[in-house]
Amino acid sequence: MFKPCNRYVLIQRDDCEKEESLIALPEGVFKNESIYEKVRIEAISCDIRPPLAAGQEVVVLTKMIEEVEFDNQVIYLVLENYILGITEKTND
């Protein structure tokens, strides 16, 4: 288990992430790339106060998501500052 520190938030990205291309292109080449992404919070640093909590879905700046590889695993982290808002389910 990974516990984030220094105002980092451990997130889970959607399973349908962008697949890596064999050809390297500069970011932003395709206009349909979203600069925002909805992710699920898995764990938060002890420096972070409510309203952020594990289990919530939030919107973040996609370019600020950090991919960290260690011990044959990949995790995704984002700083608290790059969380734009919390999404809430509405009952229609």
Give the residue among 11, 26, 27, 25 at the shortest CA–CA distance from 67: 11
- Looking at residue 28, its amino acid is G
Ordered domains of the chain (ranges, CATH): 1-14+35-92 (2.30.33.40)
Cβ neighbours around 11 below 10 Å, total: 23
Q: Helices H, strands E: what count in the chain? A: 0, 6
In this predicted structure, the answer to whether residue 53 has a pLDDT above a threshold of 70 is yes
Round to whole Å and give the CA distance between 81 and 53: 15
Quick: pLDDT tens for 3-48: 999 999 999 998 655 555 577 767 656 555 789 999 999 999 999 9
pTM of the entire predicted model: 0.78
Token pair for 41: 């919070």
